[in-house]
Structure 1
Amino acid sequence: MEGQSPMVLKEIEVTKSSLEGKINLILRLCGLVLTLVAATVIATDKQTTVIPIKLTDSLPPLDVPVTAKWQYMSAYVYFVVANVIACAYATLSFIIALANGHKSKLLVTLVTLLDAIMVALLFSCNGAALAIGVLAKHGNSHVRWNKVCHVFDKFCNQVAASCLISLLGSLVFILLVVLPALRLHRRT
């Protein structure tokens, strides 16, 4: 690039900036969609199953309908709320990125900081939801928590799918933090 004129160098810089801006918008849109889908998938998750309960050997088993809902576990409530927060933030940051581009350095820094906070929020809610999912799948004999995924298989599968989608959303937000850091590294 040494022999090129300042005009050509300026054009290359504008093209790179334009490409980075488009990638930023696409990633923000992906983050919005993924967190929205993750929250929706688990928020619509509900399964009712009839479980036979045997009270004594002489009586026939009593069939009891039991329902699994995401609202019954605080980790899943946290998961839904965190994904809704991340989705709302992704919407707001998408609008800001459309309106501002990379004009305001302070705004870009603030948005990058909030992106990092969204990464932490999403990974913490994913960890909480996955921990409860592992307990539901395998149980814990030490504290006498029984497995429940063999009974509520549809519910558990939907929770697992939602966690996977939310993890993809977390990775998108990580990319949104890494890209400005790479841009800073390139300048120095």
Structure 2
Amino acid sequence: MATEPEKVVPPVEAAPEPEKGAPPPATRGPTDYFAVADVVLRFLVFASALVSVVVMSTSKQTEISPPSPVPRPAKFNHSPAFIYFVAALSVAGFFSIITTMGSLYSLLKPGCSAKIISHFIIIDVLLLGIVASATGAAASVAYLGLKGNKHVPWGKVCGMYGKFCRYLGASIGVSLFATVMLVLLVLLSVYSLSKKIPK
């Protein structure tokens, strides 16, 4: 009686163990949404400050105001409040573009983000105070131009210089948006820094 040949089963090779001290396989870390939001908010502050300065600087209108037949121009540099507004928003735009680049750096290298955020909080609070005060000063002068003051002989000028006043209103509105973005930045920076404090 013929016997069947035995089947030879090849030995199963064990999976090689990882070498000790070898780096773990590269994995992508979780996205830091707070850092991304910080970059976006800082860029919005820069963009709104730039738009506000450009609109205010280009606000100019020349009209003939009776009884004088001589044309009289209306410019932003005729008011100290508007000059302060342009200077303050220019400073805010300059520092916001610097902090945007710093925020991008901390997003790429998260190890140094706590130190950068602690410095940014101081800058953001200072910028918030400057931008808010400049917006308030410019808005008060623009409101006088729109409504006048019946208690003193300050008449309305926006009826004559309508285009000029529209430019002022648009510029002040955009700077108010920048103020809100700076408030959000301060809150976000404080929250992000509190998350990095060891419990």
- Larger helix percent: 1
* 1:138 partnered with 2:147: yes
Displacement of 1:185 after TM fit?
Answer: 5.0
* 1:49 partnered with 2:63: yes
| Of 118, 124, 127, the match for 1:115 | 124
Contact 2:34 2:192 survives alignment (8 Å): no
Contact 2:142 2:169 survives alignment (8 Å): yes
Q: Distance in 2 between matches of 1:127 and 1:22?
A: 30
TM-score by length of 1: 0.83
Listed as ranges, the matches of 1:94-109 within 5 Å are 94-101=100-107, 102=110, 103-109=112-118
Contact 2:117 2:193 survives alignment (8 Å): no
TM-score by length of 2: 0.79
* Bigger Rg over Cα: 2
Q: Distance in 1 between matches of 2:190 and 2:93?
A: 23
Displacement of 1:144 after TM fit?
Answer: 0.9
Give the corresponding residue for 1:15: 30
Give the corresponding residue for 1:86: 92
Give the corresponding residue for 2:19: none
- Give the stretch that moved more between structures: 33-42 or 142-151: 142-151
Unmatched 5+ stretches in structure 2:
1-26
Displacement of 1:48 after TM fit?
Answer: 0.3
Q: Distance in 2 between matches of 1:49 and 1:149?
A: 11
Q: Distance in 2 between matches of 1:52 and 1:113?
A: 51
Displacement of 1:105 after TM fit?
Answer: 2.6
Give the corresponding residue for 2:190: 181
Unmatched 5+ stretches in structure 1:
1-10, 54-61
Listed as ranges, the matches of 1:54-65 within 5 Å are 62-65=68-71
How many residues get paired? 168
For 1:152-178, what per-residue CA distance to the aligned partner results, in whole angstroms no more than 9, with x for missing partners? Answer: 010011100000000001111111100
